[in-house]
Each structure stands twice: as structure tokens, then as C-alpha cells.
Amino acid sequence: MGRSAASRPLLQPTLPRSRTVLLLVDFINPLQFDGAEALAPPALQAAAAAAALKKTLAARGVRAIYVNDNFGHWQSDFKALLAGCRRQGGAAAKLARLLAPGPDDLTVLKPRHSAFLATPLDLLLTQMQTRELVICGLATDLCVMFSAMDAFVRGYRLWLPEDCTAAESPAAKEAALQWMACALKARRRASL
């Protein structure tokens, strides 16, 4: 007679080890907020650079995790967000086409600005034995910066590829990158 369901060990899916992880913050984005028109052109440039970097890093065994805002929709899921952006057209659809997650990528929805606040991201990174984060995304001076701050206080080393982030203005982007390089000891250089 077989063991009861309660006594059988639970199958634990294993996450791949990845000492470095590429975080893609808020690239899958409907761009429906004040300032989105100013953000869209540099966001598309950053997404193209991030897509190239993702391909290069994947060839080296670096995993990607998409961390996206749930935009206050508590019953949302990542696939629905991606599909909605594709249907919307315009810059939102272009971003989704440039950086749609692949089958090996992980996805996390976040309720606020930081990729770590009220999400399982730190647990995922711990299980993957991650030590360094490459943070790309939107916007450099908001969600990227808040995510980098939370990563820094958790002891992760940081690389911020300058060409893989975007803000509503070049001045806002540069100020945020300078601050993160100084305060968070983040490396800042181009992606390739």
C-alpha cells in the first residue's frame, strides 16, 4: 500500500544557479501615466540595448528576471500584462516585442517602486545563489533606483548598464546614475 499524500515528500522545483542575474525592471509597460510621452523614445532605445545585453549574458549562463509593476491590478499576471501591452500598440507594443520573456526567464510582479518590496525576488535570488545584479529598466530615477537601493542594502553587487535604462529626461537619468555609482558603489558603463 502506498504512502499517504501527507507523508510523501513534496517535489521541490529547483532554480538554476546564477551568480549574476539580469533584472529587467518595468520594460513590459503600458506607458499610461504622466510623463510617458517623454519616456517612450529613450525607453525604446534602452530596451533595444537591454535585448542585446540579455542575449550576450544568456550565452554566458546569466539568467534574466523580469520585475514589473502590477499597476494596482491585484489579480493580474505577467502573461496578461504582456498581452495587454501587445494589444495596445504604439511604444508599449514595441517594448513588449523587443523584450518579451523567453521560456527560461523568471517573472515577478511588484506592487510598488522597488523590485524587492513585497515580492519573492530576494528569495529567488538567494535560492539561485546570486551575488551580482545587472539592473536595466524604467525609469532610471524611480523604479531602477529604488530597486538598486534595496539590492545594495541586501549585499548585492550592482552593475547599471547606462544604455539599458531610461528616464523622462537625460538630466534625471544622469543624476540618478551618478548617485547610484557614488552611494551604492554601482558600476556604470555601457552594456557592450
What pLDDT is recorded for position 182? 98
Mean pLDDT of the chain: 92
Contact 141, 167 (CB under 8 A): yes
Q: What is the DSSP string of 98-162?
A: HT---TT-EEEEESSSSSSTTSSHHHHHHHTT--EEEEEEE-IIIIIHHHHHHHHHTT-EEEEEG
Is 20-189 CATH 3.40.50.850? Answer: yes
- Domain residue ranges in the chain: 20-189
Q: What does the pLDDT look like over 96-119, one tens digit per residue?
A: 999 999 999 999 999 889 999 999
How many other C-beta atoms lie within 10 A of the C-beta of residue 8? 9
Q: What does the pLDDT look like over 22-70, one tens digit per residue?
A: 999 999 999 998 999 999 999 999 999 999 999 999 999 999 999 998 7
Q: Nearest CA to 96 among 163, 30, 159?
A: 30
Residue 108 and residue 91: Cα distance in Å, rounded? 22
What pLDDT is recorded for position 73? 66
How confident is residue 12, by pLDDT bands cut at 50, 70 and 90?
low
